Amino acid sequence: MEKRNQTVAVVGAGDFIGSAIAEKFASEGFTVFAGRRDGTKLAALADRVTAGGGRLEARSLDARVEDSINAFLQEAEAHAPLAGCIFNVGANVNFPVVETTERVFRKVWEMACYGGFLTGREAARLMLPRKEGFIFFTGATASLRGGVGYAAFSSAKFGLRAVAQSMARELGPHHIHVAHLIIDSGVDTAWVRQRIADREGAEALEKLDPGRLMRPAAVAEAYWSLFQQPEDAWSFEHEIRPFAERW
Amino acid sequence: MEKRNQTVAVVGAGDFIGSAIAEKFASEGFTVFAGRRDGTKLAALADRVTAGGGRLEARSLDARVEDSINAFLQEAEAHAPLAGCIFNVGANVNFPVVETTERVFRKVWEMACYGGFLTGREAARLMLPRKEGFIFFTGATASLRGGVGYAAFSSAKFGLRAVAQSMARELGPHHIHVAHLIIDSGVDTAWVRQRIADREGAEALEKLDPGRLMRPAAVAEAYWSLFQQPEDAWSFEHEIRPFAERW
Amino acid sequence: MEKRNQTVAVVGAGDFIGSAIAEKFASEGFTVFAGRRDGTKLAALADRVTAGGGRLEARSLDARVEDSINAFLQEAEAHAPLAGCIFNVGANVNFPVVETTERVFRKVWEMACYGGFLTGREAARLMLPRKEGFIFFTGATASLRGGVGYAAFSSAKFGLRAVAQSMARELGPHHIHVAHLIIDSGVDTAWVRQRIADREGAEALEKLDPGRLMRPAAVAEAYWSLFQQPEDAWSFEHEIRPFAERW
Amino acid sequence: MEKRNQTVAVVGAGDFIGSAIAEKFASEGFTVFAGRRDGTKLAALADRVTAGGGRLEARSLDARVEDSINAFLQEAEAHAPLAGCIFNVGANVNFPVVETTERVFRKVWEMACYGGFLTGREAARLMLPRKEGFIFFTGATASLRGGVGYAAFSSAKFGLRAVAQSMARELGPHHIHVAHLIIDSGVDTAWVRQRIADREGAEALEKLDPGRLMRPAAVAEAYWSLFQQPEDAWSFEHEIRPFAERW
């Protein structure tokens, strides 16, 4: 692995998608700054990356707090120039709209949208003087469709998509690549498997159709392919789904 | 004018669009409950409506405060069954994303999206037992497009659209008509005229092209036409623009 | 009924939707020119309209033939100025793409898209000198979504929507209102009822859920509401569906 | 270069985009079957590919003729299993709708939409028994937007997109990857350069902004990245534009 003197920040480095993204960029020579609410949960990830010859710095951060995001990205930048930033905080909930509390609605927005705005803005401030960098956001089916029970979640995801679009239009001419990855399926995480078990019974997990869930590593590959695009052929919106997904 | 024993609530009854909506529904016999931050500013509207033989109750309300919205709608319902509710709070701002403060981003969202969620949810709670009613939301070009300088505004408007979509899918089968009106142009308000004068000079106002701005009364007519739709042919999204608009 | 010295042309005046549109505009005082492949099938419609005090001219036409469309619209114009034109030719088929013959693909396109282009263009040529008129097109769910089995039909409907969009952008500034009505549900026609019986059994028709099918008259009302829009608040796309439709 | 015992067919192998795609897939070891109206114009391309150690078969074909497409793909398949097929026939024209002849409208559709249907269907028939392969279609800004003057072109491109969508939904579960690449900018071709010179003067070409035109090779890279996607993370729609494009 060729080391690069550049950092990549992953905001929302959960056990599955976020970790896979962090591992991918670390395996390509970047020093990855990985942040999540409780940074101590990143120990296993850090060990895997280090064992593979990569470099990863684990941090606790709260993406809903301006100073926390700011400090996290500033530290990455101080370590080595921030090449890119990926915002991957999730907040998937489902409630009938009349049972959605104002607390849930606000919290989901703060995590999935407001945190994305803060992250994108702070990253842009670091990248603009260099006229270089990428800022990627993780979207979902709910980014495009307000389905039954998704008033809170889709509202936040729609809002995040708007932030990403405005940023792409403003920052593209400054050579900063802003993209929005729409994962239009379930991803193979513990949480999704649990939800399938709850809804369809434990045996549904045993005979899970191939082509139903996306591997976290496939999400990481999608981000990597966005990173590799030449600047005369950038994608803003990038949708991915398994071959057998119904859409 | 035939009086109806029903109320219609207008949340965000500003001097132009909101007032025009209130006047229209009052002229059709509804008792209109009109709310805005400073309810005393509704005196002239109330006088016009009363002079025309209609009924309008002016109230101060803060759409960002659950109790305030709740009290407003409860009072309308206590007066006579709430036939419908129109959420018309605007919050149009334009800043480069890196100059958008967290305070602006949050405030625009609270006004244009969060307030819409609270309003829609509270209205739905009143209407669901009767399986009847309408809940309409005012959208804008920025509801569909995150343009340069609109990170805050379009994020809030995208978010509001998602709330409206989820509500439409959940409440339609209960005979509650949820719609999202997209005004895809400038509207002829003092604020828009000032913005034109600032950008293009005062003379631009004098020779304003016909077909550039939409009359507030035309917005009110659009809402009225949505109200009149038979329930086997409801629109969710309803876009309107002047004949000469470029889009 | 107040008579108007204006004609409205309905291209594709089938037994259900097209007839309902023709009746509505005739009932509002327009002389309606109604065209379909076999104009003799319009006798009952013509009788109903005449009995109601309206005026309707029935013609045979082939919307896929330039001269046929041209002659039809010229005759309407010669009778009285052509106020509007509604293109309502359907061609709904469903085949797996690999079983879709080139003949089916071409024929569906000629009926549903090419005929719409010819109709819209000829109508526009008549209306442009007067800078007045409306041109409406009937769309469907398949106008926005290429679903399984709909390669031919959705291709034609997508293509028709593009024609309508280009026309709306070109002709709007000339005060010609072009709109595209998306019927996002089944309509209560003999053909749809037969399809339900074939797929779900005859008993499914007896216990048909209210809110599943749209009445043809509701489509006609939707077109009428488009016609009534003031020119500072025109819709281009107008979607309608029954309250209980899943979408 | 590692040789593969597989063919890739490029339908519409013009001097710029189509040739770049052919070269890319040839450079990756596929035997490329390249077809265009006049196959003799492919001599230079064939020489370049051969000089680089690749394999390319040049053919004359008319994508609007079922037998021609069929023979072309059958021959590729007979040479070696058809791994993929890329439909890249363009037909960009711009006329006001009222000046668009029925001949132009039909011809543009036959080239850009009908030919795509034939190509996709014939490729699918070859790939379905193996449950493997890819079918890609070149789209444009006009695939999503019916702009002024684009009634014919956007109608065809919308129609092609619908074909691609239906195919993706039908064939995905059979492990055939169908994708639609939207090139949302001008591409650096002789034709586009001429159009710029015509509209903006010859000097506009000399000081062409970087970030205005996309290189044909970048389109080829985009197709290659689609080909490389793992089957649990396929894109259907894939949009690309230069960093400075306004959209």
Dump the DSSP string for B136-158. Answer: EEEEEGGGT---TT-HHHHHHHH
In chain D the first and final C-alpha atoms are separated, in Å, by: 39
Whether D102 contacts chain A with CB within 8 A: no
- Cα–Cα distances in angstroms (integers) from residue C5 to residues B164, C30, C176, in the given order: 43, 7, 18
Partnered with residue C135 across adjacent β-strands are: C85, C178
Question: By CB neighbour count within 10 A (0-12 exposed, 13-18 middle, 19+ buried), where does B201 fall?
Answer: exposed
- Structure confidence at residue D148 (pLDDT): 98
Closest CA to B89 of B58, B61, B66, B47: B61
List alpha helices for chain A, DSSP H: 17-27, 43-51, 66-79, 102-109, 115-127, 151-171, 190-200, 202-206, 216-227
Parallel, antiparallel or unpaired: strands D176-183 and D237-240: parallel
Backbone angles phi, psi at C12, to 5 degrees: 95, 55
Letter for the amino acid at B56? L
What residue of C is the nearest CA neighbor of B188? C232
Query: At C90, is the pLDDT very low, low, confident or very high (cuts 50, 70, 90)?
Result: confident
Chain D residues with CB under 8 Å of A173 CB are 211, 243-244
How close, in Å, is residue D19 to chain A by CA atoms? 17
Angle CA(A220)–CA(B146)–CA(B160) in degrees, nearest 5?
A: 95
- Structure confidence at residue D170 (pLDDT): 98
Running DSSP on this structure, what letter comes out for residue D98? G
- Structure confidence at residue B120 (pLDDT): 98
Residues A191 and B168: beta-carbon distance below 8 Å: no
How close, in Å, is residue B174 to chain C by CA atoms? 8
CA B39 to chain CA centroid, Å, is 16
Closest CA to A235 of D234, D17, D241: D241
- Structure confidence at residue D91 (pLDDT): 86
How close, in Å, is residue C46 to chain D by CA atoms? 32
Q: Look at D243 and A175 and tell me if their CB atoms are within 8 Å.
A: yes
Rg (CA), chain A: 18
Whether A169 contacts chain B with CB within 8 A: yes
Each residue's pLDDT tens digit, D148-176: 999 999 999 999 999 999 999 999 999 99
Higher pLDDT, C147 or A1: C147
Neighbours of chain A (3+ CB pairs under 8 A): B, D
Backbone angles phi, psi at D84, to 5 degrees: -165, 165
| Beta-carbon contacts below 8 Å between B and C | 98
- CA separation for the pair C146, C152 (Å, rounded): 9
Whether C106 contacts chain D with CB within 8 A: yes
How close, in Å, is residue D199 to chain C by CA atoms? 20
Chain C residues with CB under 8 Å of D149 CB are 166, 170
Whether D63 contacts chain C with CB within 8 A: no
Closest CA to A28 of A238, A225, A180: A225
Letter for the amino acid at A52? G
Parallel, antiparallel or unpaired: strands C133-140 and C31-36: unpaired
Residues C49 and C98: beta-carbon distance below 8 Å: no
Closest CA to A119 of A228, A16, A10: A10
- CA separation for the pair C171, C154 (Å, rounded): 25
pLDDT at C23 over 90: yes
Tokens at A122, concatenated: 């702070």
Q: Look at B243 and C215 and tell me if their CB atoms are within 8 Å.
A: no
pLDDT, mean of residues A47-76: 97
Chain D residues with CB under 8 Å of C168 CB are 146
Residues B200 and B227: beta-carbon distance below 8 Å: no
Closest CA to B158 of A102, A170, A160: A160
Helix axes A102-109, B115-127, angle to 10 degrees: 150
Letter for the amino acid at C225? S
pLDDT, mean of residues A4-19: 97
Least confident of A143-147, B92-96, B115-119, C102-106: B92-96
- Structure confidence at residue C63 (pLDDT): 95
- Structure confidence at residue A1 (pLDDT): 80
pLDDT at C209 over 90: no
Whether B209 contacts chain C with CB within 8 A: no
Which residue bears the tokens 């405005």?
Answer: A166
Query: Most D CBs within 10 Å: which of A180, A188, A243, A247, as the mutation test of the D interface?
Result: A243
The pTM score is 0.97
pLDDT, mean of residues C186-201: 92
Question: By CB neighbour count within 10 A (0-12 exposed, 13-18 middle, 19+ buried), where does A81 fall?
Answer: middle
- Cα–Cα distances in angstroms (integers) from residue B138 to residues A41, A158, B94, B158, B244, in the given order: 44, 16, 19, 12, 21
Helix, strand, or coil (residue D18):
helix
What residue of C is the nearest CA neighbor of D65? C102
CA C174 to chain CA centroid, Å, is 23
Chain C residues with CB under 8 Å of D69 CB are none
Whether D132 contacts chain A with CB within 8 A: no
- CA separation for the pair A43, A50 (Å, rounded): 10
Which residue bears the tokens 């670091």?
Answer: A126
What is the ipTM score, two decimals? 0.97
Residues C56 and C32: beta-carbon distance below 8 Å: yes
Query: pLDDT averaged over chain B?
Result: 96
Each residue's pLDDT tens digit, B53-105: 999 999 999 999 999 999 999 999 999 999 999 999 988 899 999 999 999 99
**Helices H / strands E in chain D, number of each:** 9, 9
Tokens at D118, concatenated: 């034939």
* Residue in D117, D159, D163 nearest the CB of C113: D159
Chain B residues with CB under 8 Å of C241 CB are 233-234, 236
Question: Which residues of chain D are under the pLDDT cut of 70?
Answer: none
How close, in Å, is residue D123 to chain C by CA atoms? 9
What residue of D is the nearest CA neighbor of A178? D243
- Structure confidence at residue B210 (pLDDT): 82
pLDDT at A207 over 90: no
pLDDT at A98 over 90: yes
Query: pLDDT averaged over chain C?
Result: 96
Residues C33 and C57: beta-carbon distance below 8 Å: yes
Query: Most C CBs within 10 Å: which of D121, D148, D155, as the mutation test of the C interface?
Result: D155
Closest CA to B178 of B211, B133, B212: B133
Closest CA to D169 of A203, C120, A206, A244: A244
- Structure confidence at residue D181 (pLDDT): 98
The 3-state DSSP composition of chain C as helix, strand, coil percent (nearest 5) reads 50, 20, 30
Which residue bears the tokens 């509202």?
Answer: A155
Backbone angles phi, psi at C233, to 5 degrees: -150, 60
- Structure confidence at residue D209 (pLDDT): 87
Whether D105 contacts chain C with CB within 8 A: yes
* Residue in D96, D156, D167 nearest the CB of C159: D156
Closest CA to C125 of C176, C159, C160, C91: C176
Which residue bears the tokens 């009613």?
Answer: B133
Least confident of A228-242, B170-184, C32-46, D191-205: D191-205
- Structure confidence at residue C35 (pLDDT): 98
- CA separation for the pair D17, A233 (Å, rounded): 13
Residues B29 and B2: beta-carbon distance below 8 Å: yes
Each residue's pLDDT tens digit, B103-140: 999 999 999 999 999 999 999 999 999 999 999 999 99
Backbone angles phi, psi at C234, to 5 degrees: -85, 145
Whether C170 contacts chain B with CB within 8 A: no
Query: At A90, is the pLDDT very low, low, confident or very high (cuts 50, 70, 90)?
Result: confident
Query: What proportion of chain B, given as a percentage, has pLDDT over 90?
Result: 92
Backbone angles phi, psi at A153, to 5 degrees: -70, -45
Q: Look at B242 and C232 and tell me if their CB atoms are within 8 Å.
A: yes
What residue of D is the nearest CA neighbor of A209? D173
Count other C-beta atoms under 10 Å from residue D156's C-beta. 36
Whether D80 contacts chain C with CB within 8 A: no
Tokens at B121, concatenated: 């949810």
Neighbours of chain C (3+ CB pairs under 8 A): B, D
Q: Look at B241 and C247 and tell me if their CB atoms are within 8 Å.
A: no
Tokens at B145, concatenated: 């497009």
Q: Look at D239 and A241 and tell me if their CB atoms are within 8 Å.
A: no
pLDDT at A209 over 90: no
Tokens at B81, concatenated: 């069954």
DSSP string, chain B: ----S-EEEEES--TTHHHHHHHHHHHTTPEEEEEESSGGGGHHHHHHHHHTT-EEEEEE--TT-HHHHHHHHHHHHHHS-EEEEEE---------GGG--HHHHHHHHIIIIIHHHHHHHHHHHHHGGGT-EEEEEEEEGGGT---TT-HHHHHHHHHHHHHHHHHHHHHGGGTEEEEEEEE-SEE--HHHHHHHHHHH-HHHHHTPPTTSEE-HHHHHHHHHHHHH--TTSB-SEEEEB-TT---
Q: Look at D165 and C145 and tell me if their CB atoms are within 8 Å.
A: yes
Residues A35 and A110: beta-carbon distance below 8 Å: no
- Structure confidence at residue D57 (pLDDT): 98
Running DSSP on this structure, what letter comes out for residue D99? G
What residue of D is the nearest CA neighbor of A186? D232
* Residue in B218, B222, B234 nearest the CB of C243: B234
Q: Look at D158 and C156 and tell me if their CB atoms are within 8 Å.
A: no
- CA separation for the pair D23, D221 (Å, rounded): 11
Tokens at B26, concatenated: 């009052």
- Structure confidence at residue B1 (pLDDT): 80
